[in-house]
């Protein structure tokens, strides 16, 4: 998680896929982002994360706070 902290502290552009999931499992808030851009296949598409949560991809609350599957 130290690498994430260092990157988030840099005065540069960062791109975070699924920032809501990132915020849910980290020490950061949506207010830490200057812009949120959602890409959709059509304007009426509803974006949900139920499949990810059911698969427990981001629900681990271990030492990495939901990012434990990444080998930093």
Q: 25: closest CA among 60, 55, 69, 70? A: 60
Residue ranges of domains in the chain: 2-38+45-54
pLDDT tier at 29 (50, 70, 90 boundaries)?
Answer: very high
Task: Read off the pLDDT band of 24 (50, 70, 90).
Answer: confident
**13 vs 6, 21, 63, 69, CA distance in Å?**
13, 19, 27, 24
The pLDDT tens digits for 37-67 are: 888 899 899 877 665 565 555 455 555 455 5
């Amino acid at each position: 998680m130290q690498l994430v902290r260092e990157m988030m502290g840099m005065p540069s552009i960062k791109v975070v896929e699924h920032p809501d999931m990132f915020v849910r499992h980290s020490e950061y808030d949506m207010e830490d982002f200057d812009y949120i851009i959602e890409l959709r296949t059509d304007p009426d598409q509803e974006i949900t994360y139920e499949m990810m949560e059911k698969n427990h991809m981001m629900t681990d609350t271990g030492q990495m706070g939901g990012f434990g599957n990444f080998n930093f």
